[in-house]
Amino acid sequence: MAAATFLLALAVVALGSGHVDAFDPNPLQDFCVTDPTSKVHENGLACKDPAAVVAEDFHFGGLDKPGGTTSKRFGFTANQVQIPGLNTLGESHVRLDVAPGGVFPVHYHPRAAETALVLEGSVYFGFVSSYPDNKLYAKVLRKGDVFAVPQGLVHFLHNNGTTPATLYASLSSQNPGLVLLGNSLFAGALPDNLVAKTLLTDQHTVQTIKANFRRS
């Protein structure tokens, strides 16, 4: 009887703490500005001495223009908002610019939900629910529209309009992670026959697609 009560209590505690553990840890101080010189590795980055923290640690400018990394192949530019003071706050932000015809290819973030606001242009944006439904939730978004993507679900955006599109996306982790489905299957070292069987196709088709991924 006592053992059963103990197990029940343990289960309740496990359920409660499991809920909290599924997200970035909550900060235990006002801020934990990233210390770029620290060699200490933890779940997040080490904090700078609070006495040395300045307003600039919470600031990032120039987001009125595209910048950061550009993918010519896919037609997008991603400018990650780099604010040292966001460390441990459980969020990250990015400006995305997508050329007409461009895509942010099909991907998911293992550790974050996402909301995206369209600042300019129009995009076809959406996500697919998990197996076995694989249901598509997608819309054509225009300037001023916001769309939410649940954590871990496969999503995409396609600028199938005729003008450049700009979006601002916020993610619910300081390190959302990015899994690009095409790269996982065709840019890594998975054997051709395994990928072919996974996609119910032949190895020749897989080799052709892999060659496209190797071409830059």
Ligand X SMILES: *[C@@H]1O[C@H](CO)[C@@H](O)[C@H](O)[C@H]1NC(C)=O
Q: Which residues bind ligand X (CB under 6 A)?
A: 124, 140, 160-161
Q: How far is the CB of 160 from ligand X (least distance, A)?
A: 4
Cβ partners under 8 Å of residue 95, min gap 6: 63, 66, 67, 68, 78, 79, 81, 166, 167, 168
Tell me which residue has its CB nearest to ligand X.
160
Smaller CB distance to ligand X: residue 34 or 159?
Answer: 159
CB 123 within 8 A of CB 144: no
Of 64, 68, 82, 40, whose CA–CA distance to 175 is shortest?
82
Q: How far is the CB of 99 from ligand X (least distance, A)?
A: 14
The answer to whether 19 is a known ligand-binding residue is no
Q: How far is the CB of 46 from ligand X (least distance, A)?
A: 45
Smaller CB distance to ligand X: residue 86 or 103?
Answer: 103
SS3 sequence of 2-13? HHHHHHHHHHHH
Smaller CB distance to ligand X: residue 42 or 120?
Answer: 120
SS3 for 106?
strand
Token representation of residue 28 = 């235990």
Token representation of residue 106 = 């099909």
User: In a 10 Å sphere around its CB, with 0-12 CB exposed, 13-18 middle and 19+ buried, how is residue 88 labelled?
Assistant: buried
Distance CA 116, CA 93 (A): 10
Q: How far is the CB of 101 from ligand X (least distance, A)?
A: 11
Q: How far is the CB of 102 from ligand X (least distance, A)?
A: 13
The answer to whether 204 is a known ligand-binding residue is no
For tokens 């993610």, the residue is 171
Smaller CB distance to ligand X: residue 27 or 105?
Answer: 105
Smaller CB distance to ligand X: residue 123 or 195?
Answer: 123
The answer to whether 93 is a known ligand-binding residue is no
Q: How far is the CB of 186 from ligand X (least distance, A)?
A: 24
Chain centroid to CA 88: 16
Q: Binding site for oxalate: which residues? A: 109, 114
Binding residues: 107, 109, 114, 155
Known binding-site residues for Mn(2+) equal: 107, 109, 114, 155
